[in-house]
Amino acid sequence: MTAFRFADTMLARLDELGRISESPDFLLRTFLTPEQKQAHEKVAGWMREAGMTVHHDAAGNVVGRYEGSQADAPVLMLGSHLDTVRNAGKYDGMLGVIAPIACVADLDRRGKRLDHAIEVVGFVNEEGTRFGAPMTGSRAIAGTFDPAMLETKDRNGVSMGEAYRAFGLDPAKIGSCARRKGSVAAFMELHIEQGPVLENEGLALGVVTAISGARRHRVEITGLAGHAGTVPMGQRQDALVAAAEIVTFIERRCTGTPTLVGTVGMMEALPGAMNVIPGMTRFSIDIRAGDDATRDAAIADVLREIEAVCARRNLTFTVTELYNSTATPCHPALMDAVEAAIRAQGLPTMRLPSGAGHDAATLAPLCPIGMMFMRCTRGISHNPLEAVLPEDVEVATAALLHFIENFRAPVQ
């Protein structure tokens, strides 16, 4: 078996994190849960072993700091998220936290300090699985956290604000996490690609050019519950049939336009009995595109369709926007630096956009951002079949270390 400088330890740690789950049957780790606390404490221990000081901020992020020789120099920030979707894989997000910890540990073993400090952040709530409103941790650091997010509720009716207090954090202090403009020189995120492009090209690593913009909505349609056997088909106010009509419209509208994608990932029909016509339906909409105009045009069409379907079927509806991010370009100097780091490993590379959202995009108002993609098997992600090659983990971490050691703050 090949002995790796980085990958053996990193893959073992990723396996450990993958076992911290709210379910015994699949990986699920959501915001402000005991499992979040357990995972963050484990990561904090690895950060300390790597020579970092550690704190948990008011938003719930875990932050490790490796001091530089110039205390007042803007920091280089790296990291990703530690929360998951339901029935998740164990590399999405977590790789981007474990890899920079391994890089800092290597620097510490060699007694090497850079001019500037390095901070590694394990962000909370990138996925938005519990409350629907994502990117809480990175928004807090970027200074763009909206207190209205605290009113969003999980499936049990618990608001985010209530969950913060139950977790032992004061939501009124989230604003204290915001970093001052100019205090962060750049943010770099290593992430699995979550798509098949790199694998199809036979490449281990790629340079991200931009992160697609995304908007998420929650829709609630209200009709009238009734007996499944006695209400004639033409007289029903079936909320689920209306939702199905809208879902198929979303598929049609988002098919055939480059970079445009639309997904309904969650749906609930109430009262949820086999012999009762659904009187209420709640579902999510996630629409993304490489440019904001394309995305927003699709959303406008979907909203018009919801109104038309509900009017025709004598139903009422509400639509709540949960998340809105613009398409975000990566900084050209950071793209060049990532490309140089990959080529320093003797590898060819390519530039490609990200169709998925990332904490990096949320941090763009604060500082220049960059991303490196690592291929994943068959491009599968958000799925327990998510897999990576040990040799890719090794070379990705070596490239990230090269980037860190040769980092020069880009002109903002």
CA-CA-CA-CA dihedral for 250, 255, 261, 266, to nearest 10: 40
Residue 214 pLDDT: 86
Is-above-0.75 flag for pTM? yes
CB 129 within 8 A of CB 88: no
Confidence check: pLDDT of 266 > 50: yes
Give strand ranges (E) for 290-378: 316-325, 328-329, 351-354, 369-374
What region, left, alpha or beta, does residue 36 occupy, with left being phi > 0 and alpha being psi -120 to 50 degrees? alpha
Q: DSSP labels for 172-187?
A: GGGGGGPPPTTSEEEE
CATH number listed for the domain at residues 7-212+327-405: 3.40.630.10
Cβ neighbours around 410 below 10 Å, total: 18
CB 260 within 8 A of CB 286: no
* Closest by CA position to 187, among listed 6, 407, 13: 407
Mean pLDDT score, 33-45: 98
Of the pLDDT bands very low, low, confident and very high (cuts 50, 70, 90), residue 149 is very high
Residue 119 pLDDT: 98
Cα-based angle 208, 211, 217 (whole degrees, multiple of 5) = 155
Mean pLDDT score, 169-180: 97
CB 23 within 8 A of CB 80: no
Q: Which 3 state secondary structure label does DSSP give 249?
A: helix
Amino acid letter, residue 82 = L
Condensed to tens digits (0 to 9), the pLDDT of residues 267-314 reads 999 999 999 999 999 999 999 987 899 999 999 999 999 999 999 999
Longest dimension (CA), the chain: 78
Of the pLDDT bands very low, low, confident and very high (cuts 50, 70, 90), residue 1 is very low
CATH class of residue range 214-325: alpha beta
Contacts of 324 (CB under 8 A, 6+ apart): 214, 215, 216
Q: Which letter does DSSP use for residue 93 in this model?
A: T
Strands 62-66 and 53-56: antiparallel
CA 260 to chain centre: 18
Domains of the chain, by residue range, sit at 7-212+327-405, 214-325
CB 209 within 8 A of CB 335: yes
Backbone angles phi, psi at 223, to 5 degrees: -125, -125
Of the pLDDT bands very low, low, confident and very high (cuts 50, 70, 90), residue 2 is low
Helices (H), 218-291: 239-254
Q: Cα-atom radius of gyration of the chain, to the nearest Å?
A: 22
* Closest by CA position to 315, among listed 247, 250, 218, 224: 224
Condensed to tens digits (0 to 9), the pLDDT of residues 190-242 reads 999 999 999 999 999 999 998 988 899 999 999 999 999 999 999 999 999 99
CB 108 within 8 A of CB 45: no
Confidence check: pLDDT of 5 > 60: yes
Q: Which letter does DSSP use for residue 2 in this model?
A: P
Strands 213-222 and 280-289: antiparallel
Cβ neighbours around 316 below 10 Å, total: 13
Higher pLDDT, 133 or 389: 389
Q: Which letter does DSSP use for residue 379 in this model?
A: G
Mean pLDDT score, 152-164: 96
Mean pLDDT score, 27-34: 97
Mean pLDDT score, 162-176: 97
Contacts of 230 (CB under 8 A, 6+ apart): none
Contacts of 378 (CB under 8 A, 6+ apart): 196, 199, 385
